[in-house]
């Protein structure tokens, strides 16, 4: 490279806005910087002295000095004492920014982006989007009923830890979860859900989805089989598939997962079930099936994920005890969530692991996320141990039982002969099967015109022929809305055009 | 199978505790259930009539009815009208629970559990554990200074959304993040960090670690190369390795990542850098190196992850603008966090993506977690847009600059001749290099005896020969503690035994 004597830049033209919110020194810095990056001020050029700039633009020399110091700090210019300020030598000016090739994604990302992956299991996306749209009466599901949540208690519990005297929030929390919350949960699930565990087996997660993702990574190799329910919780199936699992759907009936219909050639490593209240069909697995499934898992060294997303919400008799409590061989992983019975927006749940999975889970979680927010965890711990949680559950059960009753009566009154459904006194939604030949999408669109949001059941049926069906959540609706919404559904189903596909 | 006539159980022995908190019906349910599960009451046995139990144990018949109904609901017994209540037929009793083979983990889990993976990059674990131990003066790093956080403002902001009139929290939030927060961040990073983006490019994450995990999954295939700084942020390196990446360490100097030391045979897909303030060494990358690195990435279709974990904390001049703003070709992914400048326990950060990565990132995130907690997001959005955030940053800068000054002066006074360090007016920690031959572990142990927590620098050096060094965080210490802690460090370093390995 031939070294030439540095050239001196002519006086540079700056556009100074004296009324701007951007400080003068910042304006100078930004404009000279951009000239250098654009090549307008080439490498090694001497730039005007601060005194000259200050004089020309009528500002304090100090202002210009600050700008020059920043330029020097960031390496745009060098000041040589006695000779002046120069653009750094050998700056690589960037070229061809816009025309570059697209970034290559990993095989994993390419797989989950593929149309095949997206289309077969697309309900997660659909739900997330449509939940936000505005309709007058929305039978969206999975929401909590905001009017009954004890916000005053919650505010007080949060405020306890929101003080400068409390250093809890200024440190990273424990990856596995906040100790007192793990204890409170272990005690609660023992008392209320028949789960048998010690606090060290309880791990706090930012929602079910995260637990499923971590467990998939820990347990699934490419082409491992996973048994899932159909109809079933598609977001779980999506995660398993994203990890390369081969899904084997097992049909459910009025009593949930049918152990007798596990394919005889299956060597599944993992089974995903919702035994307390099958999602989305409804129905609880009787103990006979539970024991058969555990025995099946034992005989094949497989693991069962028990998703107890709404096990607390049973409106006749006591809640059905969790499957986890039946097993003493560490084959059952129990998933619980606060999204359904507290607030979805809390984004907090828990997984209860067999002893031998605790350490691997912690290692995996540490790589993926350094723990859930401490404040929410501390507040929930107090909420449970001080009795607010179980009181809230009693209130919820009472309210939801009533709303469910209204829904069921409205269905019987207005939809008689047009639908069938599993009438289980549990959960916060009802799945309606329509007559064969009815178009789900047509009904949904007609209902939308009438200001009512109802949701397709078809996407929950995995790889099966899917009967037309609707999923109706009632947890965030008033009695009158439920009644009115079902009346309008009756009007739509009675139209002769409903059966057009 | 030969069907035999059902036998009738003798009157069963129940242990009823009339003073227990457990309701009587629950006691009956649990005990009969356990007898059935244990085989004491075999299949098809007729169990005593509710009237007999009620009479023997002196309780209302209704109480026993409730227990029997629950047993029937869960499938333990069947009631045949007119003939009585029978244990369900063909229950599979579980056998051999404890002696089963251990569960097999996935290859991924086996890899991250392997001693080789764990030992070479084990600092994350170390830090998390030691941060919790009790010492009088703790130079732990990465904490926020709790006494300066405006808890009163925070309480008020949270309370806004904690009301039954506000349905925000009773719905699932958006996976990409709360809209107003994405807007607030886009505007903030434009103003303060020179980042060039639209709100749709901002994604809210539950901390850096999650962003690194999602990005790794999206971008890294097995055996892809990733360039990382050494010394460097080991938790990032661990994530890349867990996804099968081959790490190529690039040594840093006083000006951070040395682009000229990228191995000439490297075809890295990803580069992880901390250009604003190299972690943990200290030092900012001058523009020349930044442009060279961007050009390198462009020429190889690679991506740069810019970790701006403490870019706001600069104590002389203005904060150095982010590298992201220099690139118009979508090669730079920007990571920001609220853990360092607000509260670590919030577990919230953001990633700003090139346009073409937005949709794949959203798809990936949706599989892994359904979004960050809405309440915290809403509060931070208001915290930023109402000016609290930038005011808080100014307070932090003032306070940390002072503490850093105290630390640097104490080092100069008490450790003269025993240590070297990069004196950059930024961040919230200082890395001290000790003389060769000094044992880090000995110094740490001696300091612990004196009630002072200091932390090893060696684990941050990747695959390199590691000079003995210490990392000293000052963000959660008072001036007097800093002074006293460094004095004690001087005493230890001046002991003749310090150099014993």
pLDDT in tens, B460-473: 988 767 889 999 99
pLDDT grade, residue B8 (50/70/90)? confident
CB B101 within 8 A of CB B50: no
Tokens found for residue B273 = 């850098």
**What CA–CA distance (Å, rounded) separates A187 from A167?**
27
Q: Does A298 contact B100 at a Cβ distance shorter than 8 Å?
A: yes
Q: According to the model, what pLDDT value does residue A58 have?
A: 93
Q: According to the model, what pLDDT value does residue A130 have?
A: 46
**What CA–CA distance (Å, rounded) separates A356 from A204?**
17
Nearest to A399 by CA among A338, A336, A474: A474
Q: According to the model, what pLDDT value does residue B5 have?
A: 55
pLDDT tens profile B430-458: 999 999 889 999 999 999 999 999 999 98
Q: According to the model, what pLDDT value does residue A168 have?
A: 78
Give the CA distances from residue A258 to residues A210, A232, A261, B286, B489, in Å, rounded to whole numbers and listed in that order: 27, 13, 5, 65, 67
> Could you tell me the sign of the dihedral formed by the alpha carbons of B131, B133, B134, B136, in that order?
negative
**Beta-carbon contacts of residue B119 (< 8 Å; ≥ 6 apart):** none
Is it the case that residue B130 has pLDDT exceeding 50? Answer: no
Which domains, from first to last, does chain A contain? 1-94 (1.10.10.10), 108-114+150-386 (3.40.640.10), 391-499 (3.90.1150.10)
- H-type alpha helices, A194-267: 208-219, 234-242
Residues of A in Cβ contact (< 8 Å) with B348: 373
Q: Does A354 touch chain B (CB under 8 A)?
A: yes
pLDDT grade, residue B33 (50/70/90)? very high
Tokens found for residue A480 = 């009158």
Residues of A in Cβ contact (< 8 Å) with B125: 366
Interface subset of B 10-49, CB within 8 angstroms of A: 26, 29, 37
**What CA–CA distance (Å, rounded) separates A377 from A206?**
11
Q: Which among B301, B320, B371 has CB closest to A101?
A: B301
pLDDT tens profile B85-111: 999 988 888 876 666 778 888 988 888
Torsion region of A477: left, alpha or beta (phi above 0 gives left; psi -120 to 50 gives alpha): beta
Torsion angle (degrees, nearest 10) of CA A439, A441, A447, A448:
-170
Q: What is the mean pLDDT of the segment spanning B294-298? A: 93
**What CA–CA distance (Å, rounded) separates B157 from B149?**
14
Q: What is the mean pLDDT of the segment spanning B214-225? A: 94
The residue assigned the tokens 């790093």 is B141
Residues of B in Cβ contact (< 8 Å) with A168: 345
Interface with A, mutate which of B105, B296, B367 (most A CBs under 10 A): B367
**What CA–CA distance (Å, rounded) separates A45 from B349?**
41
Q: Does A223 touch chain B (CB under 8 A)?
A: no
- How far is the first Cα of chain A from the last one, in angstroms, to the nearest whole number? 74
Q: According to the model, what pLDDT value does residue B10 have?
A: 73
- How far is the first Cα of chain B from the last one, in angstroms, to the nearest whole number? 75
User: Could you give the ipTM of this predicted complex?
Assistant: 0.89
Nearest to B318 by CA among A72, A209, A312: A72
Residues of B in Cβ contact (< 8 Å) with A331: 100
Q: What is the mean pLDDT of the segment spanning B353-373? A: 91
Interface subset of A 298-317, CB within 8 angstroms of B: 298, 301, 303, 316-317
**Beta-carbon contacts of residue B107 (< 8 Å; ≥ 6 apart):** A221
| Mean pLDDT, each 10-residue run in order, chain A (501 residues) | 59 90 92 92 93 94 94 93 91 74 86 74 43 76 76 90 75 89 96 94 93 95 95 93 93 95 95 96 94 93 94 88 92 91 85 94 90 91 95 92 95 95 90 92 93 92 84 92 96 77 46
Q: According to the model, what pLDDT value does residue B148 have?
A: 81
Kind of pairing between the strands at B455-456 and B469-473? antiparallel
> Could you tell me the sign of the dihedral formed by the alpha carbons of B396, B399, B405, B407, in that order?
negative
**What CA–CA distance (Å, rounded) separates B167 from B211?**
29
Q: According to the model, what pLDDT value does residue A164 have?
A: 67
Torsion angle (degrees, nearest 10) of CA B143, B147, B150, B156:
100
Q: According to the model, what pLDDT value does residue B316 have?
A: 87
The helix (run of H) or strand (run of E) holding residue B215 is helix B208-219
Residues of A in Cβ contact (< 8 Å) with B105: 218-219, 360
Q: Does B367 contact A238 at a Cβ distance shorter than 8 Å?
A: yes
The residue assigned the tokens 């992956």 is A117
Q: According to the model, what pLDDT value does residue A119 have?
A: 59
pLDDT tens profile B301-334: 999 999 998 888 899 888 899 999 999 889 999 9
Distance from the Cα of A356 to chain B's closest Cα (Å) equals: 8
Interface subset of B 253-292, CB within 8 angstroms of A: 255, 269, 284-289, 291-292
Q: Does B142 touch chain A (CB under 8 A)?
A: yes
Q: According to the model, what pLDDT value does residue A410 have?
A: 97
Q: Does B100 touch chain A (CB under 8 A)?
A: yes
Give this prediction's pTM. 0.90
Q: According to the model, what pLDDT value does residue B165 have?
A: 67
Is it the case that residue B240 has pLDDT exceeding 50? Answer: yes
Q: What is the mean pLDDT of the segment spanning B182-203? A: 95
Nearest to B368 by CA among A10, A287, A369: A369
Is it the case that residue B393 has pLDDT exceeding 80? Answer: yes
pLDDT grade, residue B179 (50/70/90)? very high
Q: Does A373 contact B124 at a Cβ distance shorter than 8 Å?
A: no
Torsion region of A435: left, alpha or beta (phi above 0 gives left; psi -120 to 50 gives alpha): beta
Q: According to the model, what pLDDT value does residue B96 have?
A: 67
CA contacts within 13 A on the Cβ side of A103: 30
**What CA–CA distance (Å, rounded) separates B242 from B217?**
10
DSSP secondary structure, A414-480, as one string: HSTTTEEE---SBSSEEEEEEPTT--HHHHHHHHHHTTEE-EESGGGS-SS----EEEEE-TT--HH
Distance from the Cα of B500 to chain A's closest Cα (Å) equals: 34
Q: According to the model, what pLDDT value does residue B470 have?
A: 95
Q: According to the model, what pLDDT value does residue B344 have?
A: 79
**What CA–CA distance (Å, rounded) separates B278 from B255?**
8
Tokens found for residue B362 = 């959203």
**What CA–CA distance (Å, rounded) separates B361 from B217?**
10
Q: According to the model, what pLDDT value does residue B122 have?
A: 47
Q: Does B96 touch chain A (CB under 8 A)?
A: yes
């Amino acid at each position: 490279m031939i070294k030439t004597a540095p050239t001196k830049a002519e006086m540079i033209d700056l556009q100074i806005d004296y009324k701007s919110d951007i400080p003068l020194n910042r304006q100078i810095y930004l404009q000279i910087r951009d000239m250098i990056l654009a090549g307008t001020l080439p490498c090694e050029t001497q730039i005007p002295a601060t005194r000259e700039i200050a004089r020309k633009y009528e500002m304090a020399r100090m202002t210009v000095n600050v700008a020059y110091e920043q330029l020097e700090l960031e390496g745009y210019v060098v000041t040589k004492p006695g000779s002046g300020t120069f653009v750094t030598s050998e700056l690589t000016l960037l070229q061809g920014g816009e025309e570059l090739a697209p970034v290559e994604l990993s095989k994993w990302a390419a797989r989950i982006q593929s149309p095949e992956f997206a289309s077969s299991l697309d309900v997660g996306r659909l739900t997330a989007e449509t939940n936000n749209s505005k309709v007058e009466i929305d039978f969206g599901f999975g929401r909590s009923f905001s009017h009954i949540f004890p916000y005053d208690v919650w505010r007080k519990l949060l405020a306890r830890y929101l003080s400068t005297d409390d250093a809890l929030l200024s440190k990273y929390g424990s990856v596995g979860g906040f100790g007192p919350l793990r204890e409170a949960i272990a005690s609660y699930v023992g008392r209320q859900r028949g789960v048998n565990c010690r606090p060290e087996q309880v791990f706090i997660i930012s929602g079910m989805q995260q637990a499923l993702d971590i467990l998939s990574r820990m347990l699934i190799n490419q082409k491992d089989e996973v048994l899932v329910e159909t109809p079933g919780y598609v977001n779980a199936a999506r995660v398993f598939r994203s990890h390369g699992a081969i899904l084997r759907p097992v049909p459910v009936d009025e009593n949930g997962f049918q152990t007798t219909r596990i394919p005889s050639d299956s060597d599944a490593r993992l089974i995903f079930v919702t035994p307390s209240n099958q999602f989305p069909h409804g129905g609880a697995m009787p103990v006979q099936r539970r024991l058969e499934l555990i025995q099946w898992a034992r005989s094949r060294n497989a693991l069962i994920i028990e998703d107890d997303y709404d096990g607390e919400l049973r409106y006749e008799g006591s809640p059905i005890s969790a499957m986890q409590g039946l097993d003493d061989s560490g084959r059952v992983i129990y998933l619980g969530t606060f999204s359904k019975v507290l607030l979805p927006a809390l984004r907090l749940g828990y997984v209860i692991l067999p002893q031998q999975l605790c350490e691997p889970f912690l290692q995996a979680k540490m790589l993926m996320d350094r723990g859930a927010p401490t404040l929410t965890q501390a507040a929930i711990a107090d909420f449970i141990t001080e009795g607010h949680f179980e009181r809230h559950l009693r209130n919820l059960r009472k309210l939801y039982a009533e709303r469910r009753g209204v829904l069921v009566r409205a269905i019987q009154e207005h939809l008689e002969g047009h639908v069938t459904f599993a009438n289980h006194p549990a959960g916060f939604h009802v799945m309606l099967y329509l007559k064969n030949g009815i178009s789900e999408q047509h009904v949904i669109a007609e209902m939308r015109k009438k200001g009512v949001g109802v949701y397709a059941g078809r996407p929950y049926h995995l790889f099966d022929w899917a009967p037309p069906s609707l999923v109706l959540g009632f947890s965030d609706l008033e009695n009158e809305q439920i009644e009115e919404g079902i009346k309008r559904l009756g009007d739509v189903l009675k139209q002769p055009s409903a059966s057009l596909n």
